[in-house]
Amino acid sequence: MKKKKLKKKKSYFEEEKAIYFFGGLDGFENPQNDLFKFDLKSETFEKVQTKGNPPKPRYGHTTTLVNGNELYIIGGTNGSSYFNDIYIFDLHTKQYHNVDYKGNFIARAHHTTVLYEMNLFIFGGGNDKKIFNDIQCIDVVQMKNQQIQPTSSKNSIKFLIFMILKRWNFTNTKNESYIRSYWK
C-alpha cells in the first residue's frame, strides 16, 4: 500500500505547546477534514476527537488562532466547489461551530489570513471565476465582514506586508504611520 503524505494547514496553540493541522490533501490528493495535533514536547501526532459538525473536506483554506483557544477555519475548496464559510473550533471543548456573519465574503481558496486587534484580514486567493487582489476584514467580536478599499493594488500588498510585520512585532510607531499614510 502506498504511504500517505499529509498536506495540512497549521496553527500554533501556545497553552498546549502544540500545532494544529486541519484538512488539506492526503497522499492521494483527496480533500480531508480531520484535525491533528502535533505536541511540540513529545514530538508526536495525534488525531483530535471532535464534537459538532466539522467543515466539509477542503484544502486551500486558512486556519487562524484567535483568543488563544479558537481556530477559525475560513474558505477553501474541495477541487470542484469553493467555500465562503467560517468555522470555529474551540480547543478547550473540542467543539466545531459554523458561524453566521454579516457581510458578503466571496468564496475563495489559497488566500492569506492575518489576525490583528480582533480582526481577521483576508487577502487575495481565488476561485474558478476570479483571482482576487482584495482585502476582506472580519471583525471577530461582531462577526461582521467588510471589504477594505485601498487606493491602489500596490497599497493592498503594502498593507498585507504591514499586517504580517505587525503580527511578528517588526513594526514601530514610525513604520505604522508610514504605512497608514498610503490609505489617505
With cut-offs at 50, 70 and 90, classify the pLDDT of residue 4: very low
pLDDT on residue 116: 86
pLDDT on residue 58: 98
> Measured in whole angstroms, how far is the alpha carbon of residue 104 from the centre of its chain?
17
Cell numbers for 33, please give them.
Answer: 477534514
Alpha carbons 95 and 43: distance in angstroms, whole number: 24
Which of 2.120.10.80, 2.60.40.10, 3.40.50.300, 3.20.20.80 is the CATH number of 7-113? 2.120.10.80
Number of neighbours of residue 125 by Cβ within 10 angstroms = 27
State percent of the chain over pLDDT 70: 73
pLDDT digits (tens, 9 = 90+) for 13-68: 556 788 999 999 998 999 999 999 999 989 999 999 999 999 999 999 999 999 98
With cut-offs at 50, 70 and 90, classify the pLDDT of residue 117: confident
Query: Which residues are registered as beta bridge partners of 24?
Result: 32
> Measured in whole angstroms, how far is the alpha carbon of residue 47 from the centre of its chain?
20
Q: Nearest-CA neighbor of 26 among 72, 79, 82, 92?
A: 79
pLDDT on residue 76: 97
Sheet of 31-39, strands arranged across:
7-13, 18-25, 31-39, 44-47
pLDDT digits (tens, 9 = 90+) for 68-80: 899 999 999 999 9
Segment 108-114 shows an average pLDDT of 93
Q: What angle do CA 22, 169, 154 make, to 5 degrees?
A: 80
pLDDT digits (tens, 9 = 90+) for 138-156: 999 999 998 887 665 566 6
Residues 6+ positions from 143 with CB-CB distance below 8 Å: 99, 100, 101, 102
Domains of the chain, by residue range, sit at: 7-113
Alpha carbons 97 and 91: distance in angstroms, whole number: 12
Segment 96-102 shows an average pLDDT of 92
pTM summary value: 0.78
pLDDT on residue 130: 94
